[in-house]
Amino acid sequence: MKAYGKREAAITDKFSTQEMVLSMGPHHPSTHGVLRLILQTDGEMIVNVTPDVGFLHRGLEKIAEMVPYQSFMPFTDRIDYLSSLNCNLGYAITVERLAGIEVPEKAEYLRVIGAELTRMASHFVGAGALLLDLGAVTPFVHALRERETYNTLIEMLCGARLTHNYVRVGGVSHDLPSGFREEALKFVDHIEHEFIKEFNDLISFNSILINRLKDVGVISREQAIEYTLTGPNLRGSGVKYDTRRDDTYSIYDRFDFDIPAGRGKFGTVGDCYDRYWVRIEEITQSCRIIRQALNQMPENGEVRTKLPKVLKVQEGEIYVRTESPRGQLGFYLMSNGGTRPDRLKIKTGSFSAMTIIELISQGVMVADLVAIIGSLDIVAPEIDR
């Protein structure tokens, strides 16, 4: 026994442990797109995380300076392909406010209906992808099933299923097609009264999921504000701030809806589960808004203001923010009085979320980092633009 102990000590003296540097992505399935994270690990524990972004940079802001105002609308679809209509809306409002363009009332309702349908569909994918990352395949299929119904509805509305290009400067491209109102009401009723219960019974209250998400990646209220988080990531930390209500735009002030916020449902306020649960609750609130918009919308009316073939925007600058599914989407526009922007800058929710990953990932296991990324609902094109 003594001889064995000496031999073991000799082997230990020859070897020493050290931290490893690993590259997570850009091909890792849980990075939600072409995103790379440089991990410094001590075994399975993370010492530090450095996000490495830019793999999807397409120069959208520079392209905006090279094309007429209306011609940039299809490019906004590519900012966030999961919520392209919300990106259309943010850009259109920015141009309209600086140009002094008034949007017809019916077009405002159509914009809200499209934006809230898109928010629901985005949350279907966001929640489903998080669960898929954690190994739960079946719920993701259920979420995609509902997104397919959304795709059919939006295809009725604008002819496209992913990059919609539905909003126009001054309104929208099409009025509601025949039968859309009935199908949309049927869809929101199904989501609110059937799907949400089914999804929660299937996975949201599953003890394995709860244990994987609770008390992981906790972001306090103060940290969320300090790191400029927005949208569900901010509200997941208990901050009830929503641009649709607190800095309202379009006609959102006409609708009655609640602002879900994290409250430590199963663990600590601001953990991964709270961010997941806020998105589930927001789906129900979008159903409420859509139902009110469909019922309030006038039967007749123009859906687009007549504009000059070549639109010139008065000289000046403006910053407009709207509430996209991933948080505040901000457009800073500078005009020199010509037919295209002199400068356009875009601020996105995913980019803000990247700033806090390093802070909340220190000391967690690599498997928990997968949960953290999924709970922040990052979309890579929105980071890089």
**What integer pLDDT is reported at residue 30 of this predicted model?**
65
Per-residue pLDDT for 28 more than 80?
Answer: no
Q: d(Cα 231, Cα 275) in Å, to the nearest integer?
A: 10
Q: Residue 167 in contact with residue 87, Cβ under 8 Å?
A: no
CA angle 59, 330, 216 (to 5 degrees): 95
112 or 262, which is more confident: 112
What pLDDT shows up at residue 279? 94
CB-based contact 344:377 (threshold 8 Å) = no
**Percent of the chain having pLDDT more than 90?**
51
Token pair for 367: 């498997």
Neighbour count for residue 183 (Cβ, 10 Å): 13
Residues 67-84: tens digit of each pLDDT: 999 999 999 988 888 888
Burial (CB count within 10 angstroms: exposed 0-12, middle 13-18, buried 19+), residue 48: middle
Between CA 37 and CA 230 the distance in angstroms is: 22
**CA nearest neighbour of 279 among 353, 214, 376, 186:** 376
List the domains of the chain with CATH numbers: 57-384 (1.10.645.10)
pLDDT at 1: 43
pLDDT tens across 293-338, in order? 999 999 888 989 998 888 888 999 999 999 999 989 999 999 998 8
> In angstroms, rounded to a whole number, what is the distance separating the alpha carbons of residues 154 and 164?
8
Say how far apart CA 122 and CA 324 lie, in whole Å: 10
- Average of per-residue pLDDT across 165-194: 91
pLDDT for position 145 = 92
Q: Are residues 86 and 322 in contact, defined by beta-carbon separation less than 8 angstroms?
A: yes
What average pLDDT is seen over the chain?
Answer: 88
Phi, psi of 358 (to 5 degrees): -60, -40
Most confident of 19-28, 43-52, 179-188: 179-188
Q: Using CA atoms, how far apart are residues 343 and 358, in angstroms rounded to an integer? A: 31
Q: Interhelix angle for 105-133 vs 137-158, to 10°? A: 160
pLDDT-derived band at 136 (thresholds 50, 70, 90) equals: confident
Pairing of strands 327-335, 343-347: antiparallel
Query: d(Cα 330, Cα 346) in Å, to the nearest integer?
Result: 6
Which DSSP string corresponds to 112-153?
A: HHHHHHHHHHHHHHHHHHHHHHTT-HHHHHHHHHHHHHHHHH
Q: Which amino acid is at 249?
A: Y
- What pLDDT does 163 receive? 87
pLDDT band per the 50, 70, 90 thresholds, residue 2 = very low
H or E element that contains 95: helix 84-99
- Could you tell me where the beta strands, DSSP code E, fall in the chain? 20-24, 36-42, 45-52, 167-168, 171-172, 316-324, 327-335, 343-347
